[in-house]
Structure 1
Amino acid sequence: MNQHKNTTILIVEDDFALRETLADILSGYHHVIGSDNGAEALEILQNCKPDLLLLDVMLPFPLDGFSVLRVLKNDPVLSLIPVILMSGIKTEQTILEGLKMGANDYIVKPFRSAELLLKCNNLINMRLKIEQKVEREMFIKTPQVFQFDIESEFKQKFENITRAMVEGSDFTVPNIASKMLMSISTLERWTKKIYNMTPKQYIQHTKLTTAEIYLRQRLTSVNEIAYTLGFSSVSYFCLSFKKKYGKTPKAYMRFPAKAEPVIMHS
């Protein structure tokens, strides 16, 4: 079975044991986020656009699953997220109501783990194929000058977003994808195409090039730079910096690389 470790599933289920079981089933194939109520789920969806929403119908007051689904389908961005409803209620009326509201599937509890995994993977694969098809058609049908404009627009937006996030704790791939209004897999295809890097590699590259500027300016300490740029530890920052620039940060601060000469044209 295909693994999509760069895809995300949001599980909204108030039963803790069941939510953990679902996470165990899916986490071998996808990144999983969990929530136990509708209000929190909607808050998560404002900051992270998952590739699939697994939504329990019988959530606690005030927002049950149908209420959450209604909010999603009235939002132009969130409405694109595939939704599988889960419930112990198996009446035809309830199932049809969920499907009429825009759910992609309805699965009745208790269900088999293999069935759930296949339904999730099928919906995610379908979404990825549609995204890829749209991208291919866009580049085939669009004149080359406009293709260049599309890439330029992506670069400008992407670099503005990452530049603004470089000193924050939210400088992560899911958050960048959310701000770009695209899935993580789509973001990865674009960064590989334009920068020949994965988003994670681009984040590391941006942090280190920013650190190099700070060290050259000698305005703060190595420790402060490491924590400001969100490295997990000072030692990891030092190892990463030395690998890229051939010197430890302290050595680089004392003897920075010479700036490239500026050639003046007459």
Structure 2
Amino acid sequence: MAALDVEAFTKIMSNLLSNALKYSDKHVEIYYGIEKEGSGMFVVRVANDGVRIPDQEKDKVFEPFYRMKANVNVSGSGIGLSLARSLAELHNGYLSLDTSTSLTTFELRLPLIQQMVFEVHTQCCVAKEEQVVETVQIQNNQITPSTKEAVLVVEDQEEMNAFIASELKYEYEVFRASNGAEALEILAKEMIKVVISDVMMPVMDGIELCKRIKGEPNTSHIPVILLTAKGTLDAKLEGLEVGADSYIDKPFSINYLKARISNLIKNREQILKAFGNSPLAVSTSLVANKVDEAFINKLNEFIYQNIDNPDLSVEILAEKLSMSTSSLYRKVKGISDMSPNDYIRVTRLKKAALMLCENNYRINEIAFLVGFSSASYFSSCFQKQFGMTPKEFKSQNT
């Protein structure tokens, strides 16, 4: 008996067996057992008598999207072996190809005892630690740090979906959906930073999903990357017309996808930093489409109308905007990377900065006019937000 994740092992074996049956001529062999006494390894070999893989290609077949020229007319995504090897490595094992005989033989080697047990879930790949004592005990802690940004992978091909998720899970918290309808359900509950979606899917395709995301005030701020095998100009234009932020042709480099995700997040962070640090930066600099602009203008209008009210709350804002407090939180957080309470406070401070430039009121008066309960607290908040006191800012701008 070997310690392994059943779902992950099933995925590996499913790929090896389906490939053997798909590419064999007449003969398939399967062997499994302990490698040798004292080795501590469990081994599975799956062999077939199909077209032999040349020695120079024995490592390439494990690369994402790589397909032998002899097999290009056989259906497949080209990522199954890459995913299978990744899952084997997660188990501290290895998947290799033996070309020393007349058969094409894939060999899977897994440790009998694990220090880490990896489980594959529908929404994300998480790890659980295992304490090795007299009996094996699996702890319930899920390694999904809150410091990770969340991304959503939407892809109907399970192998492709799992492959992308497995490649991204070290940098991001990964959620997974198999079509646009499932993706919208996740977006309604989670703080997603970037959506990576296939175009051609059942139930709801990527174009309709992107259109829904960009047309809905609660999600219109979320960047969308579309993946497609349709590399035509018309296909790209269709995606861009519904608001896609990036378009990547299949097959693609996983490193290129990672770079696009990282750039979208970093560019957003730079905009947010500039807005937060500059007293005179306007909130419209945070938005990139008309839906978000309309939302932020409506939000600001209500805050300005009540800016002298120190009791202005998230609940009051949510009711005025006809949103739940949770939806308001996700939207404001998504646009500004601030909680609604922080956004109200920063809006008060930015209004104060404009009033300081106009030089019609004393600093103490401005503090109360923008809803602060004391001048000292106002000065402390202003300096913490903008790196200078109200007096210093006023002397530089009047």
Q: Give, in whole Å, the separation in 2 of the partners of 1:47 and 1:112.
A: 30
Residue 314 of structure 2 aligns with an amino acid whose one-letter code is K
Change (3 A) 1:179 1:90: closer
Higher relative contact order (CA 8 A, sep 6+): 1
1:80 equivalenced with 2:231 (yes/no): no
Q: Give, in whole Å, the separation in 2 of the partners of 1:65 and 1:141.
A: 35
1:157 equivalenced with 2:299 (yes/no): no
1:43 equivalenced with 2:194 (yes/no): no
Q: Give, in whole Å, the separation in 2 of the partners of 1:30 and 1:58.
A: 25
Q: Give, in whole Å, the separation in 2 of the partners of 1:153 and 1:24.
A: 46
More strand per residue: 2
Aligned to 1:31: 173
Aligned to 1:219: none
Q: Is the 8 A contact 2:227 2:250 kept in 1?
A: yes
Residue 67 of structure 1 aligns with an amino acid whose one-letter code is E
**1:187 Cα deviation (Å)?**
4.3
Listed as ranges, the matches of 1:4-153 within 5 Å are: 5-61=147-203, 63-137=204-278, 139-140=279-280
Aligned to 2:124: none
More helix per residue: 1
Which portions of structure 1, spanning 4 or more consecutive aligned residues, are displaced by more than 4 angstroms?
175-180
Equivalenced residues, count: 170
Structure 2, unaligned runs of 5 or more: 1-145, 283-303, 319-325, 346-398
Change (3 A) 1:136 1:114: same
Q: Give, in whole Å, the separation in 2 of the partners of 1:180 and 1:71.
A: 15
Over the matched positions of the two proteins, sequence identity in percent amounts to 30
Q: Give, in whole Å, the separation in 1 of the partners of 2:242 and 2:214.
A: 8
Change (3 A) 1:153 1:113: farther
Structure 1, unaligned runs of 5 or more: 162-174, 195-266
Aligned to 2:133: none
CA RMSD across the alignment: 3.6
**2:188 counterpart SS class:** helix
Q: Is the 8 A contact 2:191 2:330 kept in 1?
A: no
Change (3 A) 1:130 1:89: same
**1:53 counterpart SS class:** strand
Change (3 A) 1:71 1:141: closer
Change (3 A) 1:109 1:186: same
Aligned to 1:220: none
**2:270 counterpart SS class:** helix
| Larger Rg, first or second structure (1 or 2) | 2
